Amino acid sequence: MKLKISLALLLGASTLFANQALIQKAKNSGLEAIPTDKKEWMKLVDTDKNNPITDAKIELGKKLYFDPRLSRSNLISCNTCHNLALGGADGVPAAIGHGWTANPHHLNSPTVYNSVFFKAQFWDGRSPHLADQAQGPIQAGPEMAAPPALVEERINSIPAYVQEFKTAYGKDVKVDFETITSTIALFEKVLVTPSRFDEFLEGNDKALTKDEQEGLNIFLNKGCTACHTGIALGGTMQPFQIAKQYTFINVGDFSGDENGMVKTPSLRNITETAPYFHNGQIWSLNEAVKEMGSVQLGINISDAEASKIVTFLKSLEGKKPDITYPKLPASTDKTPKPTFD
């Protein structure tokens, strides 16, 4: 009896040691946890002393995020392409915008969840942060197609919106395009999704199953953290097609920034954001893993290995913030009408 107990204790200690070693290995590979305590991760996202996050700003930003009147047609909102019920993306290969226009470069909509942790925004990394990024799609012809002056006129024509801006920023606030878009960005900053993986990195060695830990170990051993690293497991600019040409490179004309660098997609909630790659050409996550092994690492990842890596990736499905669809303030006689040209 004593021997059985001793063996059980020995096996338990051995498993604990192995799990803790894997946690340290993941950290040494550059992986970082989103703090599972909201107060702690808020410290990471609420960093702009000139525009601190408040409940009033978040609620206002949420309304603007869901309001299709920020588009020329009154039909497209930020949530159209970054649907919070669909993993923060839209589930189609190329984003569809104004006039039912597909993105001219055949670019796929990346998730908005955890985008506050990205080092660069857009596939070519042209925006350094969310406040700057929010201005792009609203103005872009193939997206929301609304000039800043039109957006300002629409919002300022609605007294309830003007009052909400005064409540959030003070009575002297200027409700201009920059303030409108930066308020949307504040809402996006709190779309953070801690997961069981983060609990594991924080030291809870039981947060991941044995199979998930095996998948994580393969993920680390294959070198996937060369690109998918940091707190977002992505979101940095990296060279693309290092070892081999991407199978669907001829779909669309995107080739990265001037140096051929491409923003690495976050792997958080990756199970919810198919199709994959910048042009949305691969629907199977297993196939995406194998393609990345070939294109970026120059290695063959077997079906069995890909399946185990995907098992780990499922642990990155995070807890989404509770979002109540907002009741938007009514337009007035002065609100510019939609146009569809």
Q: Please report, in range form, the residues annotated as the binding site.
A: 78, 81-82, 98, 224, 227-228, 292
Short-list 190, 193, 189, CA closest to 268? 193
Distance CA 334, CA 261 (A): 45
List binding-site positions for heme c: 78, 81-82, 98, 224, 227-228, 292
Short-list 231, 311, 230, 321, CA closest to 271? 311
Catalytic residue among 143, 152, 291, 305: 143
Distance CA 200, CA 271 (A): 19
Q: Is 143 part of the annotated catalytic residue set?
A: yes
232 neighbors 114 (Cβ within 8 angstroms): yes
Distance CA 65, CA 180 (A): 10
All residues at 6 or more sequence positions from 158 whose CB lies less than 8 Å from its CB, including other chains: 329, 330, 331, 332, 335
How many Cα atoms sit within 13 Å of 104 on the Cβ side?
6
Distance CA 47, CA 1 (A): 58
Q: How far is CA 2 from the centre of its chain?
A: 52
Distance CA 205, CA 217 (A): 14
Q: Strand 101-102 relative to strand 96-97: parallel, antiparallel, unpaired?
A: antiparallel
Known catalytic residues are 143
